[in-house]
């Protein structure tokens, strides 16, 4: 079985709908014998007056020690994609004359960009294949974004091949995470197709839990089983261990 020794998509109570602290996530990561985790709480649209409550905690991740329970703990975020232009949450919200987005991600070690539905988030046509394809390509071109999050379950139809090729050209990755296993058969089939095309195009992926509880950290057996079924090249898994993850993030 493939060994994925880092989990790069972990939510804490800072996300508002997750249930564990950073410490608890690190403790469970140690129990799973992981080498590292990345804290990627949701970075959602805010009003300027919400800066202190919702953004400062993400900026303040720098106070965390680099290791907890022997597990490397990295600073990150999961930033909402807002529109077909590829804008990310709070790019145009200013605080003290600075972009809230740029303030929040300046010390992030990993930025995942994902589509989520809801008030203030993506409300465009899910069936607009050219528009959605262009959106993902523009997002990949953000210098700080390293990973497109859970594209297989976004619900937005897009042409996979040009997006995967652009990710490969830019040295970035598409995420395969465990959450789609809860959504019947169609979404896992889309995720499988993403993985197959990434293998074909020599584009890297990340295998993550998308944990919203410490009890889910490092749990991605269904994703690994799928990758083994299609004989996905293990060297294209960017987070297979801490050394490969750190090398990927330095590129």
Burial (CB count <10 Å: 0-12, 13-18, 19+), residue 66? exposed
Closest alpha carbon to 204 in 147, 242, 243: 147
Q: Are strands 42-43 and 145-148 parallel, antiparallel or unpaired?
A: unpaired
Q: Does the pLDDT of residue 73 top 90, yes or no? A: yes
Is there a domain that residue 172 lies in?
A: yes
Is there a domain that residue 191 lies in?
A: yes
Q: What is the pTM of this model?
A: 0.95
Q: pLDDT digit string (tens) for 6-21?
A: 999 999 999 999 999 9
pLDDT for position 181? 63
Question: Between helices 186-201 and 221-229, what is the axis angle to 10°?
Answer: 50
Is there a domain that residue 111 lies in?
A: yes
Supply the CATH number for residue 168's domain.
Answer: 3.20.20.140
Closest alpha carbon to 3 in 246, 202, 237: 237
| Rounded-to-integer distance, Cα 146 and Cα 244, Å | 14
- Give 88's pLDDT tier (boundaries 50, 70, 90): very high
Mean pLDDT across 142-150? 97
Looking at the 3D structure of the chain, how many domains does it have?
1
pLDDT for position 220? 95
Is there a domain that residue 1 lies in?
A: no
Segment holding 146, helix H or strand E: strand 145-148
Q: pLDDT digit string (tens) for 89-127?
A: 999 999 999 999 999 999 999 999 999 877 667 777 889
| Mean pLDDT, the chain, whole residue set | 94
pLDDT for position 10? 98
Q: pLDDT digit string (tens) for 176-217?
A: 998 766 666 788 899 999 999 999 999 999 999 999 999 999
| Rounded-to-integer distance, Cα 240 and Cα 203, Å | 15
Q: Does the pLDDT of residue 84 top 80, yes or no? A: yes
Q: Does the pLDDT of residue 153 top 90, yes or no? A: no
- Tell me which residue range forms the domain holding 152: 6-250
């Amino acid at each position: 079985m493939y060994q994925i020794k880092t989990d790069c998509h972990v939510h804490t109570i800072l996300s508002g709908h997750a249930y564990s602290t950073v410490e608890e996530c690190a403790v469970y990561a140690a129990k799973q014998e992981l080498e590292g985790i990345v804290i990627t709480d949701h970075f959602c649209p805010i009003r300027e007056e919400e800066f202190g409550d919702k953004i400062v905690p993400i900026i303040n991740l720098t106070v965390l020690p680099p290791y907890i329970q022997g597990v490397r703990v990295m600073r990150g975020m999961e930033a909402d994609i807002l529109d077909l232009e590829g804008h990310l949450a709070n790019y145009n919200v200013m605080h003290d004359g600075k972009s809230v987005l740029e303030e929040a991600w300046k010390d992030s070690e990993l930025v995942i960009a994902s589509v989520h539905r809801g008030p203030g988030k993506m409300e465009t046509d899910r069936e607009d294949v050219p528009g959605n394809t262009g959106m993902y390509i523009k997002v990949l071109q953000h210098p700080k974004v390293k990973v497109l999050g859970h594209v297989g379950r976004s619900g937005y139809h897009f042409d996979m091949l040009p997006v995967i090729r652009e990710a490969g050209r830019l040295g970035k990755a598409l995420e395969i995470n465990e959450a789609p296993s809860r959504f019947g058969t169609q979404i896992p089939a889309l995720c499988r197709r993403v993985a197959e095309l990434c293998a074909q195009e020599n584009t890297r992926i990340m295998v993550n839990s998308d944990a919203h509880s410490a009890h889910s950290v490092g749990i991605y057996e269904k994703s690994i089983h799928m990758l083994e079924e299609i004989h996905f090249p293990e060297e294209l898994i960017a987070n297979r261990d801490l050394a490969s993850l750190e090398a990927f993030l330095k590129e």
